[in-house]
């Protein structure tokens, strides 16, 4: 157990926390959330013992083992699996002592050391380390490669595996999903759910926090507030508290109105029942998000883009790769006007290669890529931040592409991305990763593309900026192809999925819950004993297939009639809901002597909202 009592914490002259209290009980899985700069990483360092409080006390129970992820790793010649094993300090000590005793042919010492090794389950350590690396995406033949041969992102995975292998009572993780693909995130979630100790994690991935956390600690205005809930529960409770503030009501309603266009577009275009269910759940959160983020400093939207041709681009027998080696073959897919496609697949499967070819950064090895006239591509690459000139300011970077726009127009636009006042005139070089990512997005949004290609756009962005990006993408009228490990963003903005897997790209029929089940089935099948050929067909085969056209079914007049009836009623319900929301947003309603009127309107709205959801579900089912 770790307990903070009336703790105040400074970094330099800045006061981050004041009179903060926190008790980390055994078994708690605590998520630390808050805007960038509020002190989340500093609080993590305080819990680890690397920082001391400026006031108050930090009490730690004796004998607790604490594990953290190192942020750097030297260019080591040892293998990845050996580096992970070294994370278990006691195993590493015993292993080195055994090597010394074997050289000295000291039988008595060896007997004692092997007994100690068995006591810590050391004989299974290598297989446990290999399983951790496998879950984090390492190929079987990669775990024996030297650490120095891996890029920085893969070294961070090795560091994460070291922390997970080390025996611990408390595990501290700072943005553990940053260098992971969606497949590895799913695996890590399950591992952490089964972790028996206490967990403290800093993350901007709301779905990860939802799956893993039992408590949320929110840092805001130098205070620390703990909620007994996952992230969605925290957001709901915070939204309810904020909604009581009449000063926020008008802005909340503007946010709701901003999202109405997305809801209408979704209702008109959704055609897959499974994905529709997932999207309805996401839509149900929109009023909550509007309330929770009504005081956000980030408010931007995509500029009007030129009309899109249809299709925008077509791939015929496309073959992609590098250094003369094909990575993906026989791609026959089309991106049409209004498509909103999420790319699924493990790191290394070829998602970024596909995005680079679509964005014009690379040429295909074979086949044809047809891009229609009038397509304006906006490509956000994983390494977009490296394209910024560190000598620029946000103003000079945007003015370079802004044409005849006035200085005030440019400043107003940058303000929507958080570059307010003098910040718009400061050099980019010392900016944080999050600030540079925001600027790169601002430059992309200004260009008004009608086809967006986004490769991990949420890297370096905090939760508020992620929500602002999702809200902007919901009303973006062009086509979208996105790669992201942020499930909340994918669920909110994508209608269809392609899976990049085993050298192919194909349509994935299902939502992200289906994708998680597919990965689980495939991992189970890969680890199962070999079976006769006729029984080895995986359960998930039917959920992923190359793109084909579906035969059109016969029109059903009764179905068409019912669909028309539902659409007519839905229009009436939406208008009624908007009228009720307008009345409920009026502060005078709550200030008058008759408080029962507000309760009646709230009850009416709840009834209409339930009818709206039921009608929407029936509409989606009939259209599917």
Token pair in block for residue 36: 């960038």
Task: Assess whether pLDDT exceeds 90 at residue 343.
Answer: yes
By the 8 A CB rule, do 508 and 498 touch?
yes
Q: What are phi and psi of 510, to 5 degrees?
A: 155, 180
Confidence of residue 404 (pLDDT cuts 50, 70, 90): confident
By the 8 A CB rule, do 282 and 491 touch?
yes
Chain position carrying tokens 């297939």: 545
Query: Domain segments of the chain: what residues?
Result: 2-235, 236-285, 313-519, 557-623
Q: What is the mean pLDDT of residues 574-585?
A: 69
Alpha-carbon distance 66 to 47, whole Å? 10
Equal fold, 2-235 vs 313-519: yes
How confident is the model over 505-552, as pLDDT tens digits? 999 988 888 888 888 888 877 766 655 554 444 444 434 444 444 444
How confident is the model over 169-191, as pLDDT tens digits? 899 998 888 888 888 899 999 99
Q: What is the mean pLDDT of residues 573-583?
A: 71
pTM: 0.62
Chain position carrying tokens 């292993």: 95
What architecture is the 2-235 domain classified under in CATH? 3-Layer(aba) Sandwich (3.40)
Token pair in block for residue 113: 């050391």
**Helix, strand, or coil (residue 241):** helix
By the 8 A CB rule, do 203 and 487 touch?
no
Per 3-state DSSP, what percentage of the chain is helix, strand, and coil (rounded to 5)? 50, 20, 35
The H or E element spanning position 568 is helix 557-584
Fold of 313-519: Rossmann fold (3.40.50)
Alpha-carbon distance 58 to 23, whole Å? 10
The pLDDT score that the predictor gives to residue 418 is 81
The pLDDT score that the predictor gives to residue 551 is 42
Name 334's bridge partners.
314
Alpha-carbon distance 177 to 183, whole Å? 11
How confident is the model over 267-322, as pLDDT tens digits? 555 555 555 555 555 555 555 555 555 555 666 777 777 788 888 999 999 999 87
Q: What is the number of alpha carbons within 13 Å of residue 302 lying toward its C-beta?
A: 23
């Amino acid at each position: 157990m770790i307990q903070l009592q009336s703790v105040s914490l400074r970094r330099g002259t800045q006061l981050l926390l004041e009179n903060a209290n926190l008790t980390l009980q055994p078994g708690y899985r605590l998520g630390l959330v808050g805007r960038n700069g509020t002190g989340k990483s500093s609080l993590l360092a305080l819990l680890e013992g690397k920082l001391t409080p400026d006031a108050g006390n930090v009490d730690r129970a004796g004998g607790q083992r604490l594990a953290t992820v190192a942020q750097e790793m030297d260019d080591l010649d040892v293998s990845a699996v050996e580096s992970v094993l070294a994370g278990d300090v006691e195993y590493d000590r015993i292993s080195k002592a055994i090597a010394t005793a074997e050289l000295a042919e000291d039988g008595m010492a060896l007997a004692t050391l092997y007994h100690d090794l068995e006591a810590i389950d050391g004989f299974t350590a290598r297989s446990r380390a290999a399983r951790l690396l496998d879950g984090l995406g390492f190929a079987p033949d990669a775990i024996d490669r030297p650490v120095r041969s891996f890029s920085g992102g893969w070294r961070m995975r090795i560091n994460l595996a070291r922390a997970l292998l080390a025996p611990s009572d408390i595990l501290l993780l700072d943005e553990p999903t940053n260098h992971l693909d969606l497949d590895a995130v799913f695996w890590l979630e399950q591992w952490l759910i089964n972790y028996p100790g206490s967990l403290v994690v800093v993350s901007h991935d709301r779905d990860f926090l939802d799956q893993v956390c039992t408590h949320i600690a929110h840092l805001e205005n130098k205070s620390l507030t703990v909620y007994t809930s996952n992230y969605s529960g925290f957001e709901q409770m915070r939204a309810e508290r904020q909604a009581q503030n009449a000063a926020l009501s008008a802005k909340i309603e503007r946010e709701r109105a901003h999202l109405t266009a997305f809801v209408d577009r979704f209702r008109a275009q959704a055609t897959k029942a499974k994905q529709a269910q997932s999207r309805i759940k996401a839509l149900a959160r929109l009023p909550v998000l509007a309330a929770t983020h009504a005081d956000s400093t980030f408010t931007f939207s995509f500029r009007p883009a030129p009309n899109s041709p249809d299709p925008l681009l077509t791939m015929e027998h496309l073959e992609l790769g590098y250094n003369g080696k094909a990575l993906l073959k026989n791609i026959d897919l089309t991106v049409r006007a209004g498509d909103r496609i999420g790319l699924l697949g493990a790191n290394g499967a070829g998602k970024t290669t596909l995005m680079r070819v679509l964005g014009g950064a690379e040429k295909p090895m074979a086949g044809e890529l047809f891009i229609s006239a009038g397509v304006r591509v906006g490509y956000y690459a994983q390494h977009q931040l490296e394209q910024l000139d560190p000598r620029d300011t946000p103003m000079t970077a945007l003015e370079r592409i802004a044409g005849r726009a006035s200085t005030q127009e440019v400043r107003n636009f940058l303000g929507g991305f958080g570059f307010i006042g003098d910040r718009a005139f400061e050099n980019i070089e010392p900016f944080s990763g999050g600030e540079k990512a925001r600027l790169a997005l601002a430059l992309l949004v200004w260009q008004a593309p009608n086809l967006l290609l986004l490769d991990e756009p949420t890297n370096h962005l905090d939760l508020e900026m992620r929500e602002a990006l999702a809200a902007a993408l919901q009303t973006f009228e062009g086509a979208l192809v996105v790669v992201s490990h942020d499930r909340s963003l994918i669920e909110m903005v994508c209608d269809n999925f392609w899976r990049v897997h085993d050298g192919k790209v194909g349509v994935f029929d299902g939502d992200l819950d289906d994708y998680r089940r597919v990965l689980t089935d495939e991992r189970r099948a890969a680890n199962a004993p070999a079976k006769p050929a006729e029984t080895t067909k995986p359960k998930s085969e039917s959920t992923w297939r190359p793109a084909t056209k579906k035969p059109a079914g016969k029109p059903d007049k009764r179905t068409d009639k019912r669909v028309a009836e539902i659409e007519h009623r839905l229009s009436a319900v939406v208008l009624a809901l908007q009228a009720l929301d307008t009345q409920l947003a009026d502060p005078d309603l709550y200030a008058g002597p008759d408080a029962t009127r507000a309760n009646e309107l709230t009850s009416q709205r709840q009834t209409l909202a339930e009818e709206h959801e039921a009608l929407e579900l029936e509409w989606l089912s009939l259209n599917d």
